[in-house]
Amino acid sequence: MSFNSRWVLAAAMLAAAAPAAADDVFPAARPKGHYADLDKLPDWGGVWTLEFGKGNPPNPAPEPKGAYKDSYLKAKALADANNGEFARQGGSYCAAPGMPYQMGVAQYPTEFVFAPGRVTVLFEAWTQVRRIFTDGRPHPADLEATYYGHSIGHWEGQTLVVDTVGLKPAAQLAQGMGHSDKERITERIHLSPSDPDQLVDELTVTDPEALEKPWTAVFRYRRHREWDELEFVCAENDRNPVDAQGHAKF
């Protein structure tokens, strides 16, 4: 490598390592001076648990198609032969289900934390975190697929409108049901107009490769101001016995 080439390479490395200019950083990373804006947002304080029963009809099941339907029917047949229990992807019960399944987990509470430029969703189940950026950023061009995808949102009055893409194959649409890389989740999250202690998530999943039609579900949550989330460490006190073939018994 010539001296000039080395100099150009060194200069490029220094430029890449330099701190980003203020204009290059989205507001969520520069919150100072924006906290007063949070008082304009709705009160989602406390923690929330999924509601069932009267006034909360069950959601319809997604309708997979093609190879995704074949895969689901195979998984369901195995579950039917195993007391209704679906095998977990990867075989680990400590792996979180991801989006959108996580929004319908019933027995553990969820908390929403507002900060300038973002809403952070804290799930007690599996001690998971979901970030919804509300600072105007787009989805990144080089998106890496994750269990919760990349979520961007904006406020329409008192409703948080969220768009999520970039979900990895292990993120569950429903038990035993997969999705393609075309999956997209849109949500409208708001307090019930008739009950300030009920939060409503109107969720729609589109996936032209895996679903016959868009799947819409409505999740309703009950507020508990007096509760705190508990620590959830899935691997702690793990005593699931393994047989000689390496299969877990439970």
Tens digit of pLDDT for each residue in 69-82? 999 999 999 999 98
* pLDDT of res. 238: 65
pLDDT in tens, 110-146: 999 999 999 999 999 999 999 999 999 999 999 999 9
**Per-residue pLDDT at 17 exceeds 50:** no
**Residue showing tokens 């000039």:** 4
**Per-residue pLDDT at 3 exceeds 50:** no
Average pLDDT, stretch 229-241? 80
* pLDDT of res. 193: 96
Instruction: Give percent of the chain with pLDDT exceeding 90.
Output: 69
**Least trusted range by pLDDT, from 25-39, 146-160, 215-229:** 25-39
Question: What CA–CA distance (Å, rounded) separates 31 from 185?
Answer: 27
Q: What token pair was written down for 196?
A: 């300030």
* pLDDT of res. 24: 59
Q: What pTM, to 2 d.p., does this model score?
A: 0.84
The pLDDT confidence band at residue 198, using thresholds 50, 70 and 90, is very high
* pLDDT of res. 90: 63
Mapped onto helix, strand or coil, the DSSP state of residue 17 is helix
* φ/ψ of residue 38, rounded to 5: -65, -25
**Per-residue pLDDT at 244 exceeds 60:** yes
- The H or E element spanning position 205 is strand 195-206
Report the half-sphere exposure of 114 (CA within 13 A, side-chain side): 16
* pLDDT of res. 250: 63
Strands (E) in 72-158, as ranges, are 110-115, 118-123, 128-133, 150-156
Cα separation values, 23 from 30, 42, 163, Å: 11, 29, 24
